[in-house]
Amino acid sequence: MPTLPVRLELVSLEDARRAFAQEARAILGERPKKQASPAPASKQYITSGEVQELLGISKATLARWRKNGILPYSKIGAKVFYNRIDLDKLIQESATGAADREGQR
């Protein structure tokens, strides 16, 4: 019996998940998910996942922001919610802070 060449490659868990999902979509004929659209301004409370998608941050970063009091939150059972107004304030304060630092140079 002939020996087939074996190729080993180290990949991160995230890369493996992405490759698996892409392959599964190709096999099943599904299209990739669309990028999440921003939460409507009329929606007062948004979930952790929505905050992560809106800001492009990881779950760990959001957890650190909660722990450090950077972004206020409410919790009902295991579900965490963020007030859209608090999120908008954080974004505005960050932009203002960047402009202030530029002016100090």
Q: Are 44 and 84 in contact (CB under 8 A)?
A: yes
Query: What b/e readout covers 46-66, taking b as 16+ CB neighbours within 10 angstroms?
Result: bebebbebbeeeeeeebeebb
> pLDDT tens, 63-80?
999 999 999 999 999 999
| pLDDT tens, residue by residue, 8-64 | 677 777 777 777 777 777 777 765 555 555 555 567 999 999 999 988 999 999 999
Question: What are the boundaries of each domain within the chain?
Answer: 45-104
Treating both helix axes as pointing N-terminal to C-terminal, what angle do 59-67 and 48-55 enclose, rounded to 10 degrees? 110
The pTM assigned to this predicted structure is: 0.51
